[in-house]
A = this chain, B = another copy of it.
Amino acid sequence: MTSPASEDRHHDARQHGPLDRLWAVVPAGGAGTRLWPLSRAGAPKFLLDLTGSGRTLIQATADRLAPLVGERVVVVTGAAHEAAVRRQLPHVAQVIAEPSPRDSMAAIGLAAARLELEDPEALIGSFAADHVITDEEAFAACVAEAAEVAARGLLVTIGIEPTHAATGFGYVRGGEPLPGFATARVVTEFVEKPDAQRAEAYVLSGEYRWNAGMFLVRAATLLDLLAENHPDLAAGLRAIAADPSTLEERWPRLTKIAIDHAVAEPAAAAGRVAMVPGPFGWEDLGDFTALAAMTPAGPDGMRVLGDDSLVLSRDAHGLVVPAAGRTVAVVGLEDVVVVDTGDALLVTTYAHAQDVKAIVDDLKRSGRPHLT
């Protein structure tokens, strides 16, 4: 029933719809010290296969984005990881190497400034390199709606349905529905990581969602919003984009600020932020407890990330990562975490998963930075 003419129209509509101008910007930073000794300064978690899928987290991120943006992906990472990112993602359009870490506004803003120059109507969608999303179709539908909203000049955040009263994430509060869209709402407030009591109240209210740092916006809108509050930073990023040879000189002088503080919070206060609910499973794999939750339990109750033939357990439950290829036997421990790598071994519990970071500090202090 489709005539060649209607096919052409359809084709034209796709060519000029917001998704066709969307670029994925993937900030790939953070050492993931709470996942030591798997994650190291030289091999941070986004470069690792932490789900046993055969793809690293950044590869899975690119795979998930491919149906939406194809190869229109810009990865922004530390200079130390540029080569590894290019090896893992040979087909992405651009890899921007930051000379030094200057927080998320500079990283994403530089990508935005470059894309704005190429296409003044370009949309960007920022997606962290190390998140896990379990329903990719729902993700794609959500991003498509967010792109439509972003094309209207709003900053659009994707709000994750909280599964528990987490104190480790910021929250975003949804207000009135946005007319003309299926699920989008106006955002009335961004809130930083709450204490346990407030987190509980947010979740019970039904009005708050997790701010997972995923947002879509016109590149030019982002920089214009930034210019209202941090004109020097916006100008600095646009100047680097206009003359990349000035990167090394200008970069260290850019204001170090998170994008939420620099743009999202003031824009929300001004009513210029929308939220599209993300009806999909999401996990940031921040520590070994989160990793365990993603790893199915075997018949003996032990969760093994890797070759489960290497693990023997008796009266034991928890997570074992036999990454060194050695046999690991665990007897009589609950909620234990055993991470076995070639040069370092960690033994802890779910309850102490957050304390692993302190071991990394201990290693640095005791003259063993090569293990971190």
Residues of chain A touching chain B, judged by Cβ–Cβ distance below 8 Å, are 36-37, 312, 314-315, 326-333, 336, 338, 340, 342-349, 351-352, 355-356, 358-359, 362-363, 366, 368, 371
Contact = CB atoms under 8 A, between A and B. Distances in A.
Nearest to A331: B348
B332 A346 contact: no
Contacts of A368: 327
Contacts of A314: 352, 355, 358-359, 362
A22 B356 CA distance: 58
A201 B252 CA distance: 77
B351 A345 contact: no
Contact of A347 (B37, B338, B366): B338
A346 B331 contact: yes
Contact of A359 (B326, B331, B345, B366): B331
16 contacts: A36-B329, A37-B329, A312-B359, A312-B363, A326-B344, A327-B344, A327-B371, A329-B347, A329-B348, A330-B346, A331-B355, A331-B359, A333-B347, A333-B348, A333-B349, A345-B345
A355 B312 contact: no
A326 B24 CA distance: 41
A368 B333 CA distance: 23
A35 to B, nearest CB: 13
A345 B327 contact: yes
A359 B331 CA distance: 8
B352 A315 contact: yes
B347 A331 contact: yes
Given A326-B343, A327-B368, A344-B326, A332 B352 contact: yes
Contacts of A329: 36-37, 344-348, 356, 359, 362
3 tightest Cβ-Cβ pairs between the two chains A and B? A332-B352, A331-B348, A327-B344
A36 B371 CA distance: 27
Given A312-B359, A315-B352, A347 B326 contact: no
Nearest to A345: B328
Contacts of A326: 342-345
Nearest to A311: B345
A327, A330, A358, A366 — which one has the most chain B CB atoms within 10 A of its CB? A327
Contacts of A359: 312, 314, 329, 331
A347 B336 contact: yes
A335 to B, nearest CB: 10
Contact of A363 (B327, B333, B336, B344): B327
A299 to B, nearest CB: 14
Contacts of A371: 327
Contacts of A345: 326-329, 338, 340, 345
A329 B359 CA distance: 7
A339 to B, nearest CB: 9
A108 to B, nearest CB: 34
A344 B310 CA distance: 9
A326 B340 CA distance: 10
Nearest to A356: B331
A52 to B, nearest CB: 20
A317 to B, nearest CB: 12
A247 B340 CA distance: 48
A312, A331, A343, A362 — which one has the most chain B CB atoms within 10 A of its CB? A331
A366 B333 CA distance: 22
